Amino acid sequence: MYISLVCLILVQGIQAQILDKSWKDLVTDSDTQWYASMEAREVAENVLLYQRDIGGWPKNIQMQKPLTADEKKELMDLKLTAKGVTTDNEATFQEMLFLSNIYREQPNEKYRAAFIKGLEYLLEAQYPNGGWPQFYPLKKGYATNITYNDDSMVNIMNVLKELKDDSGFYSIQPADETLKRIEKAFDNGVSCILKTQYKQDGILTGWCAQHDEVTLEPAMGRAYELPSLSGKESAKIVLLLMSIDSPSIPVMESVASAHSWLNRVKIEGLREERTYDDNGKVVNKVMVEDANAKPLWARFMELENNRPFFCDRDGIKKYSLDEIGAERRNGYGWYTNEPKEVLKKYDRWVEANNVIEKLKAKKANPIDPFNVTVAKDGTGDYSTIQDAIDNAKSFPYEKITITIKNGVYNEKVKIYEWNTHINLIGESKENTIITYNDYFDKIGVGRNSTFHTPTLSVEANDFTAKNLTIENSAGDVGQAVALSITSNRVAIVNCKLLGNQDTLYASGEGKQYFKDCYIEGTTDFIFGSATALFENCEIHSKKNSYITAASTNPSADYGYVFRNSKLTAADDVDEVYLGRPWRIYAKTVFINTEMGSHILPKGWHNWSKPEAEKTAFYAEYNNRGKGFAPDKREPWSKQLSKSEAKKYTLENVLGNKQKSSKIAWYENL
């Protein structure tokens, strides 16, 4: 009797100990002796009961809690359903770890079978793009997003990595065929991670807690979980990438960029202070200044500028923790110190993998230096356009083609004088966008500030751009150039040039060809001294002003020639001049061009330079539309005769006087 009573007390004591622990602590902190016990077998029966036939488990369950007969029956009835099955809050991952730990000490086949079934669930739940949803089978709403939140996807990836690497961490090893699937799933997961890494102004940063499963863009979770960069989730993603043996160049670039970003956004001099009630529950959180505080990172940061923010359940951003209600302020982790592990391990990782040398070599030695690819997601030879140009051969003997994948490249790009024979080829005109926002007052270096504003500057001869949008996004704030060209034999084909004042600076003594382009702006938005032919282009005025401001060299036979083109305007625009002379020898001609009603009958303006009426050459031929009023044009402009118009051919405008049997630079574009 005494012995039985002692045993009962001991059993109750042990049971109390495991009930006092969280399920996570029980799984991870229990020693091998406990996993070999009868008590562990009893907990294992609960784990098996909670597993649905699809293979996964529900979340937030204290699996060690004893079950009544009715509860066991209810769980048996739920097995055929997928109710609540998820990888959120470490569900499924923790149960698989438990089964592995007990199988190591008590190798029962039913533990192994349940583990393998859980593994199959993870493999089945993966999207074709490599990501995992929060719930599978899929639930409506944000649960379908690719979920890095609370390290859900990273936990899955770590399971797969341990198994494919045969590390011994798990006591259960799948069949060879399954291992091949695991390896493929892991690689796809890494690809998804690289594709979802967010870029600010063309620079890789971190990750959002959730990303749209189709577009891969940052996505919203709950009402207070707005699309944002996450210090917490990004940390575990980087640590996963750093654990990969023999990492690829894209993985190295991803880690290096994320490390740099985490350094930039760390918060110093701030400490979280908590107040607890008698039960140990947090009843108040405040942030206090503390010069000796260890670095912190915000859980949510704005995508554009990394500014930390906070939210109540109303989804309205606040920029101070004390601005939100007690329930969300005290019940949510708004700050984290997890990135400290990335900073701690980074230098050792760089050294162990020879990262600096490999990244330098990659930039300097692409596989084919005459055909390289730029991709924002790190899958190309370069992730920025300027890097590709800077590493191109100087004065090459053959064309260098730089293919640019779809994306918004927020960068200033310069084709230097020695970068001759470069082709910039976008994946699509609508979705391959080079943009920047410099403007005259922002540059502020004096009267010539305009010429420092271009988004894309071309100083090299024999340059071609195709299928691109080139934009100055500064807005209507004065002079702001999108594209500047000061060189010879330059072709811009099937491109959109977007801006306001001074959109296109087509200048220099060379020849330029704009074919099948859309060019928009407000004032003098095509200006400069080049000989330039605009063929089959749409020229769109956004304001009552002037289209061209040529400054043609007096010795040039031709200036700006618009042929077979179309002049359009915004709905409220109705007074636009074809051009005015920036310099008094300006030459501008429109041939076979459709002119909208926004073009003023007088057509041309002398820019308050009466002498320009004698020296400028402004002419038209065979135009059409409501804006073509030849009888009302300024008397000092000219209507060409048919024989005069015949001189404005491709060969005459863009060629040279030396005959050659070679295909001309402006042909076959």
Positions marked active-site: 502, 524
The 8-class DSSP code of residue 36 comes to T
Type of residue numbered 27:
V
Contacts of 646 (CB under 8 A, 6+ apart): none
Query: Vertex 589, ends 629 and 530: CA angle to 5°?
Result: 150
Instruction: Show the tokens assigned to 20.
Output: 């006092």
Amino acid 318 reads K
CA distances from 33 to 20, 21, 38, 62, 267 (A): 19, 17, 10, 21, 43
Q: Rounded to an integer, what distance in angstroms lies between the CA atom of residue 669 and that of residue 662?
A: 15
Question: What's the length of the chain?
Answer: 669
- The set of residues, in sequence order, having a beta carbon less than 8 Å from that of 62 and lying 6+ positions away, is 19, 22, 23
DSSP assignment of 397-454: SS-EEEEE-SEEEES-EEE-TT--SEEEEES-TTTEEEEE---HHHH-SSTTGGGG--
Residue carrying structure tokens 């636009």: 576
* Beta pairing, strands 199-200 & 531-535: unpaired
Three-class SS of 323-373 = HCCHHHHHHCCCEECCCHHHHHHHHHHHHHCCHHHHHHHHHHCCCCCCEEE
Q: Which two tokens stand for residue 576?
A: 């636009």
Asked whether 71 and 46 are in contact (CB, 8 A), the reply is no
> Cα–Cα distance between 40 and 259 in angstroms, integer?
41
CB-count exposure of residue 504 (10 Å: 0-12, 13-18, 19+): buried
Q: Is 472 helix (H, G, I), strand (E, B) or coil?
A: strand
Q: Which position has the token pair 């004088």?
A: 417
* Cα–Cα dist 276/271, whole Å: 16
Backbone angles phi, psi at 487, to 5 degrees: -125, -175
> Using DSSP, how many helices (H) and how many strands (E) does the chain show?
19, 38
User: In sequence order, which ranges of 148-278 are alpha helices (DSSP H)?
Assistant: 152-164, 176-196, 231-242, 249-265
- Do 147 and 134 meet the contact criterion of CB atoms below 8 Å apart? yes
Mention every residue, 6+ apart, whose C-beta is less than 8 A from residue 184.
none
The one-letter amino acid code at 187 reads D
Residues 576, 586: Cα–Cα separation, whole Å: 18
Helices (H), 107-214: 109-125, 152-164, 176-196
Q: Please tell me what DSSP assigns to residue 593.
A: -
Listed residue (567, 562, 512) closest to 539, CA to CA:
567
- Nearest partner of 616 among 525, 562, 565, 553, judged by Cα: 553
Question: Residue type for 475, please?
Answer: G
CB atoms within 10 A of CB 513: 23
